[in-house]
Amino acid sequence: MSATAPPPAGGHASERIAVAAERRWAIVVAVIIALLVLMMVVTGLHWASMPPSRVETIDLKTLHVSGEFVEGNLGTTLSPDGRVTVRLIAQQYSFEPQCIVVPADTPVTFRGTSTDTVHGFVVGRTNANTMLIPGFVATFTTTFRQTGEQLMPCHEYCGTGHEAMWAKVQVLPPDEFRQKAAQGERLSCVPR
């Protein structure tokens, strides 16, 4: 071992004990590392093969012809229990509807998806911000505090027309919104 003075009497025994203890701890540490790596591999494979909770999928091929996202069902609805839902789809390079009406000071639930590639949107400087991914329904609920018009640009690069892809959001006073919604149609502010 060392080139200096030989170990004192009994030194060999204590060295053996020290080496054995080090080896035991090396084995313990190696087992812990192996367990952690195994956990990473198992959980990684498990989550890769299972969608996380609350993920809603939707069939792209029937999106336009049946179900929740047909053209006549897009826009804003006020259900009898007072819940406001906005349904929209994104495609290269526009949103449908192009102008969305929502009430202020009321929780608004957005439900959106994409027909072609990954898009996204953010409403003005609010926290209404999500990605729209083909095959999945994006959902979030937010409350707009200020009335007025906001821009809603696509914020995921989706192709050469990306920068021209945006819509508008009109935030109305709650009473005005309820009057408009009383007619029972899908609301939007797209000029007719």
Contact residues for ligand CUA, defined by CB under 6 A = 90, 93, 119, 154, 156-158, 162, 165
Q: Which is nearer to ligand CUA, 134 or 174 (CB)?
A: 134
> From CA 54, how far away is CA 13, in angstroms rounded?
62
Least separation in angstroms between residue 91's CB and ligand CUA is 8
Residue 11 CA to residue 7 CA, distance in Å, equals 5
Least distance CB 145 / ligand CUA (angstroms): 27
Question: What is the CA angle 54-134-152, rounded to 5?
Answer: 90
In the complex, minimum distance from the CB of residue 164 to ligand CUA, in angstroms, rounded to a whole number: 9
Q: Least distance from C-beta 90 to ligand CUA, angstroms?
A: 6
Nearer to ligand CUA by Cβ, of 114 and 188: the residue is 114
Nearer to ligand CUA among residue 153 and residue 174 (C-beta): 153
Q: d(Cα 192, Cα 184) in Å, to the nearest integer? A: 17
**Among 44, 108, 113, residue whose Cα is nearest residue 74:** 113
Please report where in the chains the tokens 């969305």 appear, as a residue: 100
User: Which residue number, 156 or 176, has a Cβ lying nearer to ligand CUA?
Assistant: 156
